[in-house]
Amino acid sequence: MTGTALRPRMRALALAAAVAVGLGGAALAGPATASGTDDVLEVGETASSNMTLLANLPKSGAFADVASYNSDLAFKDDYAFAGNYNGFTVYDIKQARKPKQVVQVVCPGSQNDITVQGDLLFLSVDSRRTDDSCSSAAATAAQSGTGAYWEGIRIFDISNPAAPRYVKAVETDCGSHTHTLVPDGDDIYVYVSSYGPNVGIARCQPPHDKISIVKVPVADPAAAAVVATPVLFPEGGLTPTTAGCHDITAYPEKDLAAGACMGEGVIMDISTPAAPKVLDRVADTENFAFWHSATFNNDASTVVFTDELGGGGAATCNPTVGPEKGANAIYELSGAGQLDFASYYKIPRTQSSTENCVAHNGSLIPVKGADIMVQAWYQGGTSVFDFTDPANPVELAWFDRGPLSAEALVLGGSWSSYYYDGYVYSNDIQQGFDVFEVKDRRVASGKAGKYAEDFNPQTQPSY
């Protein structure tokens, strides 16, 4: 979720929902079990005949409040890790049709964008806190101005998924809105995306045309530290809105990364992880408002960029906005790292004026010989589409829960929809953790694809 205009409000709501915890560490809540579809709050739910909601675990405990937003997802073995502005939840998905909540960790700090690698879990904190602990409070304006605050990356040990242990915090300039893992032998490099420089924030001064790179020794994660802050745009952005990056997707096997940097999209060579090099940059001043995220196809010949028009909080899936704004832009990628525009893709269903709807987080379905992606669209639901022909993308399946309210726009919908080991998992901002099944011959071969250990959609594996 983003958007320069929306960000302060989002921070305020998230912090208002913060739950007090005991001194020092994260608070842990106990397990819950799946409700199944009969217990889901149904408000106009519709879907294509080939996509079924198998289970839903509603938000609960410290995360139940409407202002406690669910965010991103990551996966490891038989577990899903779900971010929330108040912390994160661990789910047991060994039986995908009957997921169980294992533990809830209370550790406020928006957005709590989440990844896992081996026994380590990483959270992005993009709200200024009084300190780096899970019991911190929101920093005041005065503290922000003087530097008496913390924001950045938190690291947890999840060797026991039922009892995550807080290991380390690393501060980064302008905090961490999102982050991306780039494994490299005995180390993990964390690419930290942040934006929104402000002269009133001590360690977030303009210009902010850089990312922060944190090096994490796997054997000693407590030694994690910022090792580089490369400036991606030394001569400024292609558009005035470029001031940092929102999200980066790495494809380590191809030595490539695609950055969505607010006002533009970039392709980077990451063969030296601590020193990424920009290969190409593109802008779309006619139709793209906010370059939000990116996904490569399997052979890295195509990149799907998303436009988060309205910052995730607006109703943009309607004929007034049209099919090219708040959409995906699909680019073909040459061997030299050059981008060429192919087409736009936007869900074809009109959403109501009380539904925030725009392109958001998704991942590939590992289908041999085809480029098929599942993607979240907030209250537009979840869409599965084929972009094997980059110039002619087509939708294959979809699920739409319907508006949370017919009278007013209540922020909600699917933040992230990802395919993992045969099922689609979604983290709905208000409605909780969902499990879907897509039964369609065009994606059936995807069930054979298994991830070796862990899966972070912004660190793409090949299949």
What is d(CA 109, CA 121) in angstroms, rounded to the nearest whole number? 15
Q: According to the model, what pLDDT value does residue 449 have?
A: 77
What pLDDT does 27 receive?
Answer: 75
pLDDT in tens, 44-56: 799 999 999 999 9
The DSSP element (H or E) to which 141 belongs, if any, is helix 141-146
pTM (predicted TM-score)? 0.93
The C-alpha angle 128, 239, 416, rounded to 5 degrees, equals 55
| Per-residue pLDDT reduced to its tens digit, 308-356 | 999 999 999 999 999 999 999 999 999 999 999 999 999 999 999 999 9
DSSP 61-76: GGG-STTS-EEEEEEE
Multiple choice CATH, 7-455, 2.130.10.10, 3.40.50.300, 3.40.50.261, 3.40.640.10: 2.130.10.10
From the number of C-beta atoms within 10 Å of its C-beta (0-12, 13-18, 19+), residue 302 rates as buried
Angle made by CA atoms 344, 350, 354, in degrees to the nearest 5: 120
Which 8-state DSSP code applies to residue 205?
Answer: P
Q: List, for residues 55-110, the tens digit of each pLDDT value.
A: 999 999 999 999 999 999 999 999 999 999 999 999 999 999 999 999 999 999 99
pLDDT confidence band for 42 (50 / 70 / 90): very low
What does the pLDDT look like over 215-226, one tens digit per residue? 999 999 999 999
